[in-house]
Amino acid sequence: MKRDLLKQTVEHIDIKAFDVVGLVDAMANTAFQGRNLGRAAHIYDDMIKDKDCAIILCLSGSLFSAGLKGIVYDLIVNNMVDMIVSTGANIVDQDFFEALGFRHYVGDTFADDAVLRENAIDRIYDTYIDEDELRVCDMTIAEIANSLPPRPYSSREFIYEMGAYLDKNAKDRHSVVLAAYEHQVPIFVPAFSDCSAGFGLVHHQWYSPEEHLTIDSVRDFRELTQCKLASPHTGLFMIGGGVPKNFAQDTVVAAELLGFDAAMHKYAVQITVADERDGALSGSTLKEAHSWGKVDIVKEQMVFSEATVALPLIAGYVYGKRNWCDRAPRNLAQVFNKPVVPIFSSIPTPVGV
One DSSP character per residue, 309-352 reads HHHHHHHHHHHHHTGGGGPPP--GGGGGTSS---SSS----BTT
SS3 269: strand
Among 294, 299, 321, 338, the active-site one is 294
What's the DSSP call for residue 52?
T
CA distances from 301 to 206, 295, 308, 311, 316 (A): 46, 11, 18, 14, 17
d(CA 332, CA 140): 27
Alpha-carbon dihedral of residues 350, 156, 318, 269, nearest 10 degrees?
A: -60
**CB atoms inside a 10 Å sphere around CB 74:** 22
Q: Is 294 a catalytic residue?
A: yes
d(CA 118, CA 241): 33
Handedness of CA 141, 142, 146, 149 (dihedral sign): positive
Cβ(332)–Cβ(230) below 8 Å: yes
What's the DSSP call for residue 122?
E
Crossing angle for the helix pair 69-77 and 307-321, nearest 10 degrees? 20
d(CA 21, CA 318): 8
Helix (H) or strand (E) segment spanning residue 83: strand 83-86
d(CA 54, CA 77): 15
Which residues belong to the active site? Answer: 294
